[in-house]
Amino acid sequence: MGRKKFTNAIQNRGNTNPTENVGNLAYGGDVDSKMLDQFFDEIAQSTKGQNAIQISASETGIDIGNFRILPTGLQIADGVSVDEWQAFGKHIHMMETAIQWIIGDWLAYGERAYGKTYQDVSELTGYSYDTLRNLVWVARQFNLSYRYDKLSHTHHQKALLACHGDADVAHQWLERASTGGWSVKRMLDEIAGVSPTPPPAKGRMAKFWANFEGFAKKNIQIASRAGEAERRQMADALRKLADDLEKN
């Protein structure tokens, strides 16, 4: 398809079945013809002297250039360069880490563009209805700019559930989890206000930990509803408390 025909198709000119670009369809917006011109120019520059990669799919496998993906493995054509081999390896890694996001975005697009249902896609892919519903739900709650590449899809899904579907609150916790390098469990404990497990103690330390657990849980819950400046003041107050404890 040439530039003019492709541009007309994207902009729905002379097409009774409008074609929409994935980003526009999923998140809204109009296609700028100047952006399309720039898009084609960049492709032309990046593919000079190269053969275009052909992608095709059938019931037996998917062909991507010199690579054929089968249900039981991968076939690689003779003569593949080391650069091609390495590039395909990067694609494998990205697909592995992003597959749940990809499925959610793909199904959200199909649902809106073609009226496909979870049941339709379940029969097409073999994924269960509940799995597809959850993946689409998470994808719709977090658009691309709200997703943290240092965190797993599970982080996003569990944060959303723990925050009762409030994506804005979940986003705040995900930001803290990304900055702190938290595991899913650590993040959920923080959201729930669970304090660190105290070591076995007797006497004064037993009393200290008993008081500390309730104190920590209550104040973490308060902090979760506070703004950034207020949380900073709370942290400063706790640091002062720690200093005072060491001095006495």
**Is 5 a member of any domain?**
yes
Confidence bin at 151 (pLDDT 50/70/90):
very high
Q: Residue 29 belongs to what domain range?
A: 1-52
Closest of 239, 145, 226, 152 to residue 187, by C-alpha: 152
pLDDT, one tens digit per residue, over 100-112 is 999 999 999 999 9
In a domain, 36, yes or no: yes
- CB distance 238 to 232 below 8 Å: no
The CA-atom distances, in angstroms, between 2 and each of 8, 23, 109, 134 are: 10, 21, 24, 38
Hey, what are 127's tokens? 């994924």
User: Structural domain tally of the chain?
Assistant: 1
Note the pLDDT of residue 77.
92
Residue 153 forms part of a structural domain: no
Span 170-200, pLDDT tens digits: 999 999 999 999 999 999 999 988 655 555 6
User: Is 164 part of a structural domain of the chain?
Assistant: no
What's the mean pLDDT when you consider all of the chain?
78
pLDDT tens string 206-234: 777 777 777 877 787 787 777 778 888 88
Residue 138 is predicted with a pLDDT of: 96
- Assess if residue 126 is contained within a domain: no
Q: Tell me the per-residue pLDDT of 27-69, one tens digit each, with 9 for 90 and over.
A: 333 444 455 455 555 545 544 555 567 888 888 888 988 999 9
